[in-house]
Amino acid sequence: MKDVMKPIRTLVDARTGLLNPCDRVTKRKLSDMQGMYANAEAYNELLNKGDKLVYKVYEVNIPQVEGQLLYSTSVIYPGRVGDEYFMTKGHFHLKEDTAEIYLCFQGEGYLLMQTHDGQISSIEMKPGTIGYIPPYWGHRTISTGNKKLILFAIYPADAGHNYKIVEERGFAKIVVEGKDTPVLRKNPGYRRDKDAE
C-alpha cells in the first residue's frame, strides 16, 4: 500500500492569527510593495519614515502536490499609503483553475478579485465572513479598519502564486479612505490584459 501522510493538528489564535505549530512566517514590508500603490509620492514619503510591516502570513508545511490542501493565516496591519489602505500584493494562482476560501477572524476589509477578461468583484470582510474565490480570479485583501485584518485561507496545495501579472498590470480597483466609509475607485495605473480585449 502507498505511504499515507499522518493527519495534522493545528491551533489558531483568532486574535493574533498565530498558528501553532507554525512552519513558515512570511513578512512583507513597505519596501516589498514598490509600485503597488497608486500614489508613488505618498509611498516614498512613508517609506522614508521607516520600513513598516504591512502584512505577514503564517503557514503550515504541507506537501505542495495535487490532492493536498494548504492553509494559512494572513495578518494585514491597519495603515494607509496616502488615502489607499494597506493590502497584500495580490496574485493569480499559477494553476489558474484552483479556488480558495477566506474566513475572517478579526478586523475589517475587502477581498478584491478580478479576472483576465476584465470582470471585477469585491467582498466586504468582517469577523465571520467567508469569501469564496472561484478558479481564475486574481485576489488581494485590503485592511480598512483600526485593528489588524486577520484571515484564514484554504487552497489547493499545488495552486502556486503568480505575482508577476499583478506587478505588471495592477488591480483594476483600489480601496481608499472615503468621507465616512472606505470606497472603491478606479486604479489610474491599471493596465488591462491586452489578450482579453
User: Which residues contact Zn ion (rule: CB under 5 A)?
Assistant: 100
Phi-psi region of 115 (alpha: psi -120 to 50; beta: other; left: phi over 0): beta
Report DSSP state, residue 96.
Answer: T
> Is position 88 an interface residue for ligand S6P (rule: CB under 6 A)?
yes
**Rg value, the chain, Cα:** 17
Which is nearest to 177 in space by CA: 89, 84, 108? Answer: 84
Shortest Å, Cβ 141 to ligand S6P: 6
By beta-carbon proximity to Zn ion, the closer residue of 100 and 108 is 100
- The item of ligand S6P, Zn ion, none sharing an interface with residue 114, based on CB under 5 to 8 Å by kind, is none
Least Cβ distance, residue 20 to Zn ion (angstroms): 23
Binding of residue 71 to ligand S6P (CB under 6 A)? no
In the bound complex, what is the minimum distance in angstroms from residue 31's beta carbon to Zn ion? Answer: 22
**According to the binding rule CB under 6 A, does residue 29 interact with ligand S6P?**
no
140-169 residues near ligand S6P, rule: CB under 6 A? 141, 153, 155, 159, 161
Beta strand spans in the chain (E): 11-12, 19-20, 24-29, 53-59, 69-76, 80-81, 84-85, 100-106, 109-114, 120-125, 130-133, 138-143, 149-156, 173-176, 183-186
CB 33 to ligand S6P: min, Å: 9
Question: What is the C-alpha separation between 150 and 160, in angstroms, rounded?
Answer: 21
Q: Is 72 near ligand S6P (CB under 6 A)?
A: yes
- Residues in contact with ligand S6P by CB under 6 A are 57, 72, 74, 88-91, 100, 141, 153, 155, 159, 161
